[in-house]
A = this chain, B = another copy of it.
Amino acid sequence: MQNDLKVFDQHESEVRSYVRGFPTVFHKAKGHKIWDLDGKEYIDFFAGAGALNYGHNDEKMKQKLIDYITEDGITHSLDKATKAKGEFLEKFHEVILKPRNLDYKVMFPGPTGTNTVESALKLARKVTGRTNVVSFTNGFHGMTIGALAVTGNAFKRKGAGMPLTNTVTMPFDNFLDNTSSDLEYIERFLDNNGSGVDTPAAFILETVQGEGGLNAARMEWLKGIEKICRDRGILLIVDDVQAGVGRTGTFFSFEPAGIKPDIVCLSKSIGGYGSPLALTLIAPKYDTFAPGEHNGTFRGNNHAFVTATEALNYWTDDALEKSVQEKSKKITSFLEDLLKKFPELKGSLRGRGFMQGISSEIEGLADEIAGKCFENGLIMETAGPDDEVFKLFPPITIDDEGLEKGLSIIEKSVTQVLEAKELVTS
């Protein structure tokens, strides 16, 4: 095959998206690098939008996966018991849940983020007998109707083609300038009997909003939200699909806040290798779905179980966590320096951990920078309701050299874009 987009232009739907921003045919990938058919190398600061926290084709997972396939381990098993699944369940409990004093039951809801979100929303409504769910401004939870109804993005919502109902949006931390009143605002809406906001089954939120523009909630805000829920018998669902599995420096993104959500949604990097897998973690008292009440054909993706189990070895000690936390500081420093060096960006720092970026007030600038990065050999996406944020999402396993090289491409690209716009002079 040639490095040629013709086949995509001819046969793929217009809905295709990233191929437009990164117009080349990729073929191989390893760690933080990918190569196109011409052999051009790119540093991947996109990481599958958080699905490749361990980078591409991690060598240990790769071997386990090849071994499994070679020995004809069962590939597809619905929710029958398999060795691969059992080993994952056991190790996930031992390595992740138990040390964090968590006793979640694990549901496999179909292997995508939107599916775990849908299962969580259904369960919360079933458990409480209430229909309303509170979501947050700039939250992103998926494209199927239930998940889309708790997603803030106007463009995505329009795709529904019908009204999205049974949800109410509340302001995420910092949505308004006057941040201190946010929680009071929410409480007032919940407690005033005339507010028009029906008592919700659940709150659903991301601790750091990925697609929404790298908005990182403060830990005290998260604690406040948990308290609001507990005091009123409302379930707290944390959608950790993008921010989970180490992206912010701890396995779950909510750990530093010291909260315990009633339901946690995991997908993306939980499979380790980039294969579809999703988990819905459920506090035991709410584990009340009847057998098969929510199901799905691919909830038993054994290839993903195999690599997911191997990936958990990254979490048997705190080496990875420490490394991520340390490198996060480097990213923060880099971005702060960039903002200082280029006030012309009219930018501000966003996010935390390995999901940081810069929001620019200049319309279209983030996209131009991402485009220039691509030319310069780095893949990076934009986020936010107006795509106003460029978003650094390297694999959390990236080495120092890779990270620095990536950052230097970003700096170079920013410079080039600003010069081309004559906002700065070289």
Minimum Cβ distance to chain B for residue A117 (Å): 9
Secondary structure of the A side of the interface? loop
A51 within 8 A of B: yes
Whether A51 and B195, one on each chain, are in contact in the complex, defined by CB atoms closer than 8 angstroms, is no
Contacts known (A112-B298, A165-B165, A290-B155); A18 close to B79, Cβ less than 8 A: yes
Whether A194 and B74, one on each chain, are in contact in the complex, defined by CB atoms closer than 8 angstroms, is no
A71 within 8 A of B: yes
Whether A20 and B90, one on each chain, are in contact in the complex, defined by CB atoms closer than 8 angstroms, is no
Give chain B residues whose Cβ lies under 8 Å from the Cβ of A56: 72, 74-76
* Measured CA separation A341–B282 after assembly (Å): 49
Contact code string A163-190 (vs B, CB < 8 Å = 1, else 0): 1111111010001111001001100110
Give chain B residues whose Cβ lies under 8 Å from the Cβ of A163: 131-132, 162-163, 165-166, 198
Contact code string A65-94 (vs B, CB < 8 Å = 1, else 0): 110011111111111111111110110110
Whether B189 and A137, one on each chain, are in contact in the complex, defined by CB atoms closer than 8 angstroms, is yes
| Closest B residue by C-beta to A139 | B196
A396 within 8 A of B: no
A28 within 8 A of B: yes
Minimum Cβ distance to chain B for residue A402 (Å): 16
* Measured CA separation A89–B12 after assembly (Å): 7
Give chain B residues whose Cβ lies under 8 Å from the Cβ of A80: 18-19, 22, 26
Whether B90 and A7, one on each chain, are in contact in the complex, defined by CB atoms closer than 8 angstroms, is yes
Whether A29 and B75, one on each chain, are in contact in the complex, defined by CB atoms closer than 8 angstroms, is yes
Whether B8 and A137, one on each chain, are in contact in the complex, defined by CB atoms closer than 8 angstroms, is no
Q: Pick the contact of A194 from B7, B107, B149, B152 — CB < 8 Å?
A: B152
Q: How many copies does the complex hold?
A: 4
Whether B193 and A291, one on each chain, are in contact in the complex, defined by CB atoms closer than 8 angstroms, is no
A57 within 8 A of B: yes
A268 within 8 A of B: yes
A320 within 8 A of B: no
A319 within 8 A of B: no
A376 within 8 A of B: no
Whether B114 and A159, one on each chain, are in contact in the complex, defined by CB atoms closer than 8 angstroms, is no
Interface size on A, residues (CB 8 A): 161
Whether B297 and A13, one on each chain, are in contact in the complex, defined by CB atoms closer than 8 angstroms, is no
A216 within 8 A of B: no
A25 within 8 A of B: yes
A17 within 8 A of B: yes
Contact code string A140-174 (vs B, CB < 8 Å = 1, else 0): 00111111011111111111111111111101000
* Measured CA separation A32–B122 after assembly (Å): 35
Give chain B residues whose Cβ lies under 8 Å from the Cβ of A5: 81
Contacts known (A73-B28, A76-B274, A105-B14); A198 close to B290, Cβ less than 8 A: no
Can you name 30 A-B pairs with beta carbons within 8 Å?
A: A8-B86, A12-B106, A13-B105, A15-B290, A15-B292, A23-B81, A26-B81, A27-B83, A48-B76, A49-B297, A56-B75, A57-B72, A62-B69, A109-B143, A114-B296, A115-B115, A115-B143, A118-B143, A122-B159, A131-B161, A138-B192, A153-B194, A156-B293, A157-B198, A159-B294, A161-B201, A178-B178, A193-B386, A275-B275, A275-B303
Q: 6 extra interchain contacts, Cβ-Cβ under 8 A, other than A169-B197, A171-B189?
A: A125-B162, A131-B162, A137-B189, A168-B169, A176-B181, A275-B275
- 4 nearest A-B pairs in the assembled complex, by CB-CB distance: A125-B161, A76-B274, A145-B146, A169-B196
